[in-house]
Structure 1
Amino acid sequence: MNTTLPTSTNANAPGPHDGRAEAWVARLDSPECTPHERAEFERWLDASPAHVAAYVAAERAHQAAAQLAGDEMLQAAARIAWRQTGRERARSRWWAPAAMAASLLVATVVGVGWLRSPAPVESLRYATQVGEQRSLRLADGTQVMLDTDTAILARFSGERREIEVDRGRVQFQVAADPARPFSVIAGTGTIRDIGTTFQVLKNGSEVNVGLIEGEVQVSNGLAQAGSTLRPGQQLSYDHSGRMTPPEPLDLSVAESWPSGDLVFKNRRLDALLTEMNRYSATKLRLADPNLGKITVSGVFHIGDQAALLEALEQGWSLKAERAADDEIVLHRNPG
């Protein structure tokens, strides 16, 4: 689908009702939308509060149209109107009342659809590809950092703010709004807070929550009770209802990935490779699983496999060999 998109973030550019918001809704919904276009969208959104309002209105209209698309009454009314306007007898005396009746029927169905709907809920999906990180600001002012291969769904209304983490790792710097509680759903658990900074990692059915500042309450729908985290604490839970007690969180490690670095302190090599592999389509493998017991410390830039491999070859006597286009295998260097 070819869609003309705005390229200027100048606040003095044409107003938000010139079709740009509708164009962004269509483009962002397309699987062909590129990271560059999403970054351009964020710049356009930040250029003016009017852009945010226009985009929200366009997104709601898009969702309403999608919800009504399967309504049989609406489809029948549209077919009646189309048949009448397509005939040469459209100018006859009987056409005007019939067309008006069809129009009223369409309007009535749309009106009934809105009456049937609950209070408007703004639902927006955000995602990153492998190797991509994305920073964004939600409509309430909450700052969000999406790590590689991450997807979330934001649902906002006048009464609540809710984020669902589908996969990946996210950092939330929540804008305070006591009238609208902020909650994050990840797997079978829910994280609730007001005005904090915390991270959520969802890997399959395993979820980890780490608190940087403020306070959050973590509950698992399958567990007997929840836990409250203090700054510098973390916990984990899974689909079985098991929840670990709060334990220390290394803030230097937690705060490194949003800035593009990975900090490892005496971590096993297999854990390091698992983390680095999240950022690249080319995977690093161990020829011998026993090599995974090697402990490694260092700071590595996200996605910079070349620097990591050089460090492992020089400091830990390993040798890297490319086994396929998408795989590099690490061996012990006999020399």
Structure 2
Amino acid sequence: MNHSPSPTPTADGRAEAWLARLSSPECTSADRAAFEDWLAESEANVDAYLQAESVHALARRLASDDLLRAAARRARRNPAIDRRSVLRRFAMGAAIAATVVLAIGVIRRPKPPPTVPVGRYTTVVGEQRTVALEDGTAMRLDTATTVRVHFARDQRVVEVVQGRVQFTVGADAPHAASPRPFLVKAGSGTVRDIGTTFQVRHVDADVEVGLIEGVVQVTADATGTSDTLAPGEQVRIDAQGALQASQPFDLAVARAWTQGDLVFKERRLDQLIAEMNRYSATPLRLADPALGALTVSGVFHIDDQAALVAALEQGWGLKARRGGNGEIVLHKADR
């Protein structure tokens, strides 16, 4: 469907043009967002719109005014009646109403609403979810993850409260005058995107950022130090807020969890169990902590704990037994 163009921001008549556009059945969400941006430019724009709206409302009321309508009928029946007296009465009423509305506007001027309200997105244990934001950004939330989103007129901010998220950042909403910076807050770090795909993990007090495509700048807020990552690199901000040196980022492993798989390459068994436990309400536990030093390689689906246990029993000489509180305890198999 073709829509008529939005009002042109000329020096005069902008408030009246916006009033007409917003009243039109063809008004779009993009038009309303642009109108909010115009209001935010200055208080004068708010005053102008309030005045235009009040005059428009007054015109509707006067159209049903019995005395005015009677005067108009008399004027039509008797051409000798001075039509200017009718117009003067209408103009005087409009001026009085506009003055009253402007005075009220000074006292109770509404603040322009934000373009996008704060949003909160959460996944429970074992759940993964993709969220599409209005600027074209896609967020893939891992298990037990919480994020908060706030898009303002000058920037786009997402806070990773806990968990892990993959961001594929959009170019920004079509109505934005210029692309707003996309920032991710996590713990004591800030990630500034430059059109890319990256992952942020915030567990306990540690923050890890890994880059898949594009460029990101990671800053430790406490010290102001920063690092710009290239694809295949990751960086960590520790519990003390210090930015560590960048390390290689295994892209195959990084992409696997977004598809529901965990890829382990010569990793410690206790690390594998800790990772799998994030996806299950039935935790795995090692009877002897020394078993955690066993190295494991393989691909394990996040919601198939039974397959993992079977693989550990067959390939690593372990035996699973039910423990208290419904947990599964892994022991060294008896000879």
For residue 153 of structure 1, what is the amino acid of its counterpart?
A: R
Measured at CA, do residues 266 and 119 of structure 1 come closer, stay the same or move farther in structure 2, by a change above 3 Å?
same
Gap regions ≥5 residues in structure 2 = 1-25, 34-99, 173-177
1:298 and 2:298 matched? yes
Measured at CA, do residues 239 and 314 of structure 1 come closer, stay the same or move farther in structure 2, by a change above 3 Å?
closer
Mapped to 1, the partners of 2:108 and 2:312 lie a distance apart of 65
Measured at CA, do residues 112 and 166 of structure 1 come closer, stay the same or move farther in structure 2, by a change above 3 Å?
farther
Tell me the TM-score normalised to structure 1 length: 0.65
1:254 and 2:254 matched? yes
For residue 241 of structure 2, what is the amino acid of its counterpart?
A: G
Deviation at 1:157, TM superposition (A): 2.1
Mapped to 2, the partners of 1:153 and 1:283 lie a distance apart of 28
Mapped to 2, the partners of 1:124 and 1:158 lie a distance apart of 16
Q: Deviations over 1:46-78 (max 9, x none)?
A: xxxx9x959x99xxxxxxxxxxxxxxxxxxxxx
**Secondary structure, counterpart of 2:272 in structure 1:** helix
- On the 8 A contact 1:269/1:294 being kept in 2, the answer is yes
1:155 and 2:135 matched? no
Measured at CA, do residues 120 and 239 of structure 1 come closer, stay the same or move farther in structure 2, by a change above 3 Å?
farther
Mapped to 1, the partners of 2:282 and 2:323 lie a distance apart of 11
**Secondary structure, counterpart of 2:191 in structure 1:** strand
**Secondary structure, counterpart of 2:270 in structure 1:** helix
**Secondary structure, counterpart of 1:114 in structure 2:** coil
After superposing the two structures, state which structure 1 stretch, 205-214 or 220-229, moved more: 220-229
- The residue number in structure 1 matching 2:166 is 171
Mapped to 2, the partners of 1:319 and 1:328 lie a distance apart of 10
Measured at CA, do residues 288 and 113 of structure 1 come closer, stay the same or move farther in structure 2, by a change above 3 Å?
farther
- On the 8 A contact 1:270/1:292 being kept in 2, the answer is yes
Mapped to 2, the partners of 1:113 and 1:300 lie a distance apart of 59
**Secondary structure, counterpart of 1:125 in structure 2:** strand
1:131 and 2:111 matched? no
Measured at CA, do residues 291 and 122 of structure 1 come closer, stay the same or move farther in structure 2, by a change above 3 Å?
same
**Higher Cα radius of gyration:** 2
- On the 8 A contact 1:233/1:248 being kept in 2, the answer is yes
Q: Deviations over 1:265-308 (max 9, x none)?
A: 00000000000000011110000000000000000001211000
Mapped to 1, the partners of 2:186 and 2:159 lie a distance apart of 6
- On the 8 A contact 1:131/1:278 being kept in 2, the answer is yes
Mapped to 1, the partners of 2:123 and 2:198 lie a distance apart of 19
Mapped to 2, the partners of 1:334 and 1:306 lie a distance apart of 21
Deviation at 1:225, TM superposition (A): 1.4
- The residue number in structure 2 matching 1:328 is 328
Measured at CA, do residues 314 and 231 of structure 1 come closer, stay the same or move farther in structure 2, by a change above 3 Å?
same
Measured at CA, do residues 332 and 204 of structure 1 come closer, stay the same or move farther in structure 2, by a change above 3 Å?
same
Mapped to 1, the partners of 2:108 and 2:147 lie a distance apart of 31
After superposing the two structures, state which structure 1 stretch, 216-225 or 312-321, moved more: 216-225
- On the 8 A contact 2:225/2:243 being kept in 1, the answer is no
Identity %: 55
1:191-270 to 2 correspondence within 5 Å? 191-270=191-270
Mapped to 1, the partners of 2:190 and 2:300 lie a distance apart of 32
**Secondary structure, counterpart of 1:159 in structure 2:** coil
Q: What is the aligned counterpart of 1:114 among 110, 124, 128?
A: 110
Deviation at 1:238, TM superposition (A): 2.5
**Secondary structure, counterpart of 2:110 in structure 1:** helix
Mapped to 1, the partners of 2:299 and 2:241 lie a distance apart of 35
Aligned CA RMSD, in angstroms, stands at: 2.7
Aligned residues: 235
- On the 8 A contact 1:187/1:238 being kept in 2, the answer is no
- The residue number in structure 2 matching 1:311 is 311
Mapped to 2, the partners of 1:112 and 1:273 lie a distance apart of 59
1:84-123 to 2 correspondence within 5 Å? 112=108, 114-115=110-111, 119-123=114-118
Gap regions ≥5 residues in structure 1 = 1-49, 58-103
**Secondary structure, counterpart of 1:122 in structure 2:** coil
Mapped to 2, the partners of 1:328 and 1:200 lie a distance apart of 30
Q: Deviations over 1:113-158 (max 9, x none)?
A: 833x774442111000000000121111101100000000010122
Deviation at 1:239, TM superposition (A): 4.0
